[in-house]
A and B are shown apart, each in its own frame.
Chain A
Amino acid sequence: MDLVVIGGGPAGLAAAIEAKKQGIEKVVIIERDNTLGGILQQCIHDGFGLHRFGKRLSGCEYADNFIVEVENETIEVAYETIVLEITKDKVVYAMNSNEGIVEYYAKTIILAMGCRERTRSQAFIWGTRPSGVLTAGTVQRYINIEGYLPGKKAVILGSGDIGLIMARRMTLEGISVEGVYELMSSPGGLTRNIAQCLVDYDIPLHLSTTVIRIHGQHKLEGVTVAEVDEKRQVIEGTKRYIECDLLVLAVGLIPENELTRQLDIEIDPKTNGPIVDENFMTSMAGVFAAGNVVTVFDLVDYVSLTGEMAGRGAAKYIQGNLELEQDYTEVTPGENVSFVVPQRIRKDNLESKLPLYFRVRQKQENVKVIAKVAETICYQKKHRVVLPPEMLVEELDSQSVKDTNQNIVVNVMGGTL
């Protein structure tokens, strides 16, 4: 195999198609589900693909656009197959119920496993362990694919986009949503989702409030919520019991990197994903990563773009067109920036533009994004407001960073500029 893509979600689909278009012959996508598209298949709501296709598609439609291309490009897909292990000489061991263990000898690998939801135990909620406590993605799958409703009255913990989308979805399905509770003092999801998922349906959002206890022996009977102070400590006297039979957890996503770690690939502690370069190649030559395995993106459009970059990178690697010896230039987070992807670049491998994906630590108004090499500003752009939940993407002109060996530092700066 020239290229083994692990995962058939948006990142893997885009990566496989792009590699094929660049002239790579033998490409296989290994997918553990029985369909391609990954999580997009249960995202029946619209709002996807505004950047890429210029219109608002549902998740299924967005996926379908890529699936059709995979079929046209005659890319091999191994369905209901799960990767068990990857060795350092790029042998991929996978398994399915028809063939047993399958081995792929790969020239290049693209890791596109996506991310996983945080669960109750990662959110540290006390109490009993009844049924009826589910992650938002699980509820979404039950309702939109399996076709059954997991409760009648729901409480949602976490105001990330999935939690907000599910508040609207459950309301439309006749589940009464008592409210959305958020530990932090500002919402985790996009402002437009607060508007169209909560405000439209009169669902209250309680900030600085969290679920502190789960009640019920076999079936969930209720939860206790309480307000918290700036140190996230429960404020006495604010405890309130809410009767409900469904607790929906939308408490964050974690890149799924078990295979990456097995390979001893360098992980960035700031993103919990592999450190990648300008072609989304990891610290192991020939092994690339794309999409939410690298860092959790807000928009699928970005996931697809990183897939394409990795796909092009893998093609160049196979064709011998990737410079592998040049020292890396680091790209590092500066003022009010929590991380930057890619974390490093080889200048000779840059295309005309270098896209940087990053998040701010804190909300700030009237700011400038400033990328600096030493004391020289190589990029700047104004923003009216920047928020941690909304990822920033800035495209640097590659020429502006070519002539130096110093790090590129990305800053978000307020005040008088």
Chain B
Amino acid sequence: MKKEFTCIVCPVSCNLVVDDLDGQLTVSENQCKRGLVFGENEFRNPKRMLTTTVKITGSSVKRLPVISVDEVPKDRLIELAELLYKVTVKSPVHRGDIVAKNIGNTGVDVIATRTINQENKEI
């Protein structure tokens, strides 16, 4: 079975072809090793980084941007984002602080991507 994917690892956006010969995957049309890994993953278990925001109190900034420290299954993105909407954190927060541990039992933590101190004021 042959499948084609657009590689999303870098802006080159290679058009990968993944061929499955009895469970043995061959990736072609990739220009780098990262594309090879992406092609295999995309065929078997497509994953994405999750980026969204959570509520933050005690600061004039209303939302704290967050990111998953690793990729999570693509088909669970919306469900995981919904879990994060229930989270509220308190200012101050530092970049890298864990906002949600092992989100939805994926084994992946979600961390803050911005430092927000209480003195940050809104314009």
Contacts and interface: CB of A to CB of B under 8 A. Distances in A.
Interface string B98-121: 000000000000000111000011
A162 B5 CA distance: 22
Nearest to A97: B123
A299 B10 CA distance: 11
A144 B53 contact: yes
B90 interface: no
B25 interface: no
Given A144-B63, A172-B78, A190 B51 contact: no
Contacts of A46: 49, 51, 67
A147 B55 contact: yes
A338 to B, nearest CB: 19
A44 B52 contact: yes
B17 interface: no
Contact of A80 (B77, B120, B123): B123
A191 B6 contact: yes
Q: Which 10 A-B pairs have the closest CB atoms?
A: A147-B62, A191-B13, A195-B6, A44-B65, A192-B13, A192-B8, A60-B114, A60-B113, A147-B63, A58-B113
A260 interface: no
Interface in A47-62: 50, 56-58, 60-61
A302 B66 CA distance: 25
State which size class the interface on A falls in.
Answer: 20 to 34
Contact of A390 (B11, B53, B55, B65): B11
A145 interface: yes
Contacts of A35: 120
B121 A34 contact: yes
Nearest to B55: A147
A172 B81 contact: yes
Contacts of A191: 6, 13, 15
B3 interface: no
B7 interface: yes
A330 interface: no
Given A33-B123, A145-B63, A192 B7 contact: yes
Given A34-B121, A60-B114, A143-B63, 4 more contacts: A64-B114, A147-B62, A191-B15, A196-B48
A310 interface: no
Contacts of B76: none
A200 B48 contact: yes
Interface string A181-212: 00000000011101110011000000000000
B120 A194 contact: no
A44 B53 contact: yes
Given A46-B67, A172-B78, A61 B6 contact: no
A204 B84 CA distance: 27
Interface string A375-397: 00000000000000010000000
Interface in A19-72: 33-35, 41, 44-46, 50, 56-58, 60-61, 64
B11 A41 contact: no
A298 interface: yes
Contacts of A200: 48, 74
B13 A34 contact: no
Interface string B55-90: 100000111011100000010011001000000000
Nearest to A147: B62
Given A45-B51, A60-B114, A172 B67 contact: no
Contacts of A61: 67, 95, 113-114
A195 B13 contact: yes
A230 interface: no
28 contacts: A34-B120, A34-B123, A44-B51, A44-B67, A45-B51, A46-B49, A56-B49, A58-B113, A60-B114, A61-B67, A61-B95, A80-B123, A143-B53, A145-B62, A146-B63, A147-B55, A147-B62, A172-B77, A173-B81, A190-B11, A195-B5, A195-B6, A195-B13, A196-B8, A200-B48, A200-B74, A298-B11, A299-B11
